[in-house]
Amino acid sequence: GDIHRFPRGPNPGTFLHGLLEWAGEEGFNVTHEAIEKSVGARCNRRNWEGWIVTLSGWLQHLLQTPLPLHNERFTLSGLQQYQIEMEFWFASHTVDVLALDKLVCQHTHGGVSRVAAEPLLLN
């Protein structure tokens, strides 16, 4: 499947966030088997069995993807020291989603065009 077809919204977003937190708690250098086991258990609890392969591949890829930092690159799986994200909540009532989306497009993925964010959806 295509990760971009994964359901949208707060519950699926929280689910993905939980996968990243789990990976961080495990040290980010997680085996493919451990990823499949954890993703499988989490998907099975939500009747999302059809997403196990896609989400396992997505997480494995994310952990191995080289990320830029100054003039160097690093991967999450290669980190020796890190802080798992602390939770934070703030209101976003006056965010111009279209302007924010335009900035994100300009500064990520080499400016490759994609479907724009919808004006009233921000989570």
62 within 8 A of 39, measured Cβ to Cβ? no
9 within 8 A of 2, measured Cβ to Cβ? no
- Give the SS3 label for residue 72: strand
Q: For 75-120, how does the pLDDT look when each residue is reduced to its tens digit (9 = 90+)?
A: 999 999 988 876 677 777 778 888 888 888 888 877 787 787 777 6
Q: For 30-67, how does the pLDDT look when each residue is reduced to its tens digit (9 = 90+)?
A: 999 999 999 999 999 999 999 999 999 999 999 999 99
- pTM of the full structure: 0.68
97 within 8 A of 122, measured Cβ to Cβ? yes
Q: What residue ranges in the chain does DSSP mark as E strands?
A: 67-69, 72-74
Residue 71 CA to residue 89 CA, distance in Å, equals 32
